[in-house]
Amino acid sequence: MRNFTFCNPVRIVFGKGTIAELGKLIPKSAKVLVTYGGGTIKKIGVYDQVKAALAGVDWLEFGGIEPNPEYETLMRGVELARQSGRNFLLAVGGGSVLDGTKFMSIAIPFQGKTAWDLMEGKVPIEAALPIGCVLTLAATGSEMNRFSVISRHETGQKTAISHDKLLPAFSILDPETTYSLPPRQVSNGIVDTWMHVVEQYLTFPLDTPLQDRQAEAVLQTLLEEAPKVLADPREYNVRANLMWCATMAFNGLLSCGGQGDYSTHRIGHELTALYGIDHGQSLAVLFPAVLRHQKADKLTKLVQYGRRVFGLQGADEQVANQAIEKTEQFFHSLGMKTRLKDYNIPAADYQKIAEKLAPRGMLGERQNIGAREIVEILRLAEG
Ligand code: NZQ
Ligand code: ZN
């Protein structure tokens, strides 16, 4: 096992009716900016619950944060917050609203000219406003992690950052808020959760039996709960289990002492930036191809994954192949597509995608995925 530091001070308030606790979690003296997306929260009653819980608090709102939150939009929120002297941000929505709000929290106190520089590491992150979160979509794990992923249409970028100052002070997770999710977002969320786990787990063995079993527990829970949520979207415990899986998948616990491989996510972000496909959709297309390409290097863990997660038996090579097929079948069972041609992504663009990523370093747990390998993976995902 490798050395690691684990510190996750995010307060999670989980369960039915927990939005009412907002009043206790936000200081009465705070000047709050409530941020949200395209308006779903107003249709599903979450906005009204937040409003009731914030009685007596000085708050304003900023809506319109889009899926794959856009820098330009967020900078409008930054202006509003600066002009109105806000000192606390409350994100109400899915991962995009929360990630966008995380970015706003560091951009508001930033005194330099271009806040995008914070995303590129050109200037240090020195200050941030505190953030709270009311989550309405189980997927990203952003509610309990240090990450924020922001898009910039102007330059075709979709960029992730990680920083301690991006940890929310608290996140309220009421599974009932997720009843209204359309099946596409439910499936995207399950795939995203799955991918966060496997990208920390399915690399090379480092003698981390506890972390391996923690990862396998999340995967097996997803296998069990996924068909139930598709069959009955209003089953509370199923929603609760999926929400908790998503949070546990990507809060730093599973990566303790291990070595990750985030190649599927990194290539996936480029597909979203270039063609606008959902984050979860990009992952479902790429992951089977990444596994096929990296099968030899990942063999030991791939066989363990096949045997323990899917209960496969037989010779290693056979188990590894079946494990990849089972993964793809699971994605199909969620209604996800697993080929680039399903999204009309032209083969002529593969080189361009690879060249966008290559200057940012090699991918994979062995740093063995460069431009050439990315093109090979895209070909395997073609159709
Ligand atoms: O905009 P609104 O009206 O809120 O509607 C949203 C949006 O259209 C809707 N939605 C949210 N909650 C709902 C709901 N619809 C009905 N009922 C509800 N309860 O769902 C749509 C998608 O929302 P979005 O927030 O974009 O989805 P998600 O949570 O999957 O977030 C995706 C973003 O997070 C990034 C992705 O790259 C993408 O930009 N990620 C962030 C990570 C992190 N911070 O750790 C890690 C991930 O790997 C990922 O990269
Ligand atoms: Zn993800």
How far does the centroid of ligand 2 lie from the alpha carbon of residue 149, in Å? 10
- Residues 6 or more apart in contact with residue 298 via CB below 8 angstroms: 202, 203, 204, 291
Whether residues 279 and 222 share a domain: the answer is yes
Does residue 318 lie in a domain region? yes
Does residue 372 lie in a domain region? yes
User: Amino acid identity of 159?
Assistant: T
Using a cut of 0.95, tell me whether the model's pTM lies above it: yes
231 band by pLDDT with thresholds 50, 70 and 90? very high
> What DSSP letter does each residue of 217-284 carry, written as one string?
HHHHHHHHHHHHHHH-TT-HHHHHHHHHHHHHHTSSSTTTT-----HHHHHHHHHHHHH---HHHHHH
Neighbour count for residue 194 (Cβ, 10 Å): 26
Does residue 5 lie in a domain region? no
Whether residues 172 and 193 share a domain: the answer is no
Neighbour count for residue 36 (Cβ, 10 Å): 26
Single residue among 113, 145, 177 that ends a domain in this structure: 177
Over residues 184-213, the pLDDT tens digits come to 999 999 999 999 999 999 999 999 999 999
Q: How far apart are CA 15 and CA 176, in angstroms?
A: 8
Averaged pLDDT for residues 239-258: 98
Whether residues 291 and 273 share a domain: the answer is yes
Whether residues 57 and 167 share a domain: the answer is yes
pLDDT at residue 238, rounded to an integer: 98
Does residue 117 lie in a domain region? yes
pLDDT at residue 138, rounded to an integer: 98
Residues with CB under 6 A from ligand 1: 37-40, 44, 67-68, 93-97, 99, 136-137, 139-142, 145, 147-149, 177-178, 180-181, 185, 188-189, 192, 250, 265, 279
152 half-sphere exposure, CB direction, 13 A CA radius = 14
How far does the centroid of ligand 2 lie from the alpha carbon of residue 147, in Å? 10
Averaged pLDDT for residues 301-309: 98
Q: How far apart are CA 326 and CA 321, in angstroms?
A: 9
Does residue 48 lie in a domain region? yes
Strand pairing partners for 132?
Answer: 90, 170
With beta carbons less than 8 A apart as the criterion, state whether 382 and 347 touch.
yes
Strand pairing partners for 13?
Answer: 172
pLDDT at residue 147, rounded to an integer: 98
Whether residues 243 and 348 share a domain: the answer is yes
Whether residues 149 and 167 share a domain: the answer is yes
Number of domains in the chain: 2
Whether residues 159 and 236 share a domain: the answer is no
- Reference 206, options 259, 273, 168, 158; nearest CA is 259
303 band by pLDDT with thresholds 50, 70 and 90? very high
345 band by pLDDT with thresholds 50, 70 and 90? very high
Ligand 1 binding pocket mutation candidate from 96, 104, 106 (most atoms within 8 A of CB): 96
Domain of residue 170 covers 11-177
Whether residues 207 and 349 share a domain: the answer is yes
- Residues 6 or more apart in contact with residue 63 via CB below 8 angstroms: 35, 36, 37, 38, 39
Neighbour count for residue 30 (Cβ, 10 Å): 19
Single residue among 152, 177, 202 that ends a domain in this structure: 177
Share the mean pLDDT of the chain.
Answer: 98
Whether residues 189 and 40 share a domain: the answer is no
Phi-psi region of 210 (alpha: psi -120 to 50; beta: other; left: phi over 0): alpha
Q: What's phi and psi for 350, nearest 5 deg? A: -55, -45
Single residue among 134, 150, 177 that ends a domain in this structure: 177
pLDDT at residue 245, rounded to an integer: 99
Does residue 1 lie in a domain region? no
Whether residues 172 and 188 share a domain: the answer is no
CATH number of the domain within which 368 lies: 1.20.1090.10
Does residue 301 lie in a domain region? yes
Does residue 143 lie in a domain region? yes
Over residues 61-98, the pLDDT tens digits come to 999 999 999 999 999 999 999 999 999 999 999 999 99
CATH number of the domain within which 126 lies: 3.40.50.1970
Averaged pLDDT for residues 119-144: 98
Alpha helices, H only, the chain:
22-25, 40-43, 46-53, 71-83, 95-107, 116-119, 183-201, 209-231, 236-249, 263-275, 279-293, 299-310, 316-333, 350-357, 371-380
Whether residues 34 and 142 share a domain: the answer is yes
